[in-house]
């Protein structure tokens, strides 16, 4: 009887453990930091004072530029942007849409209103582009939303 109970318990653990882990995702900031390719974004979020916001309840959809995306901006311009908290906040919140918008839903949209207040253009005719930036990885889930990785920094008007 004990052997049978152990086998059943082990089988349940295999079935239940992945479901339990699925609900224990890290928040958007911790997910981005753990990925290792968003160091500049993490630095910018810290400089703008937005870390606590993106660690909050959400849900948020973040179009997250990689370090390579930030590297496309000349260093002097990037340094100036990071030093200007108001402008930096405007740029970063332009990358965030309220709610959790998964890729299947993004592809049905032509535009979305950002936390910054302006709209981003969405083009799903050949891959997915947000204001011309390519979504290179979609649906990176976090406990408080979703990240779609983009290859360029998008700028509000």
Given this model, what pLDDT does residue 157 score? 85
pTM comes to: 0.82
Given this model, what pLDDT does residue 3 score? 39
Domains in the chain, ordered, with CATH?
26-150 (2.30.180.10)
Write down the residue that tokens 């582009």 correspond to.
Answer: 129
Nearest to 101 by CA among 147, 134, 154, 35: 147
Q: Determine the Cα–Cα distance for residues 134 and 151; give it in Å rounded to an integer.
A: 6
Write down the residue that tokens 């974004």 correspond to.
Answer: 41
- The per-residue pLDDT for range 93-141, each reduced to its tens digit, is 999 999 999 999 999 999 999 999 999 999 999 999 999 999 999 999 9
């Amino acid at each position: 009887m004990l052997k049978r109970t152990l086998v059943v318990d082990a089988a349940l653990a295999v079935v239940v453990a992945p479901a339990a882990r699925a609900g224990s995702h890290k928040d958007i900031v911790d997910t981005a930091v753990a990925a290792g390719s968003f160091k500049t974004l993490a630095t910018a979020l810290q400089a703008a004072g937005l870390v606590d916001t993106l660690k909050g309840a959400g849900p948020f959809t973040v179009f997250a530029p990689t370090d390579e995306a930030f590297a496309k901006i000349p260093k002097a311009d990037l340094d100036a942007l990071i030093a200007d908290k108001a402008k930096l906040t405007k740029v970063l919140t332009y990358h965030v849409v309220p709610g959790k918008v998964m890729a299947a839903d993004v592809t049905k949209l032509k535009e979305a209103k950002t936390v910054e207040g302006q709209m981003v253009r969405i083009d799903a005719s050949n891959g997915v582009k947000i204001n011309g930036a390519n979504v290179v990885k979609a649906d990176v889930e976090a406990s408080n939303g979703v990240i779609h990785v983009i290859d360029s920094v998008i700028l509000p008007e």
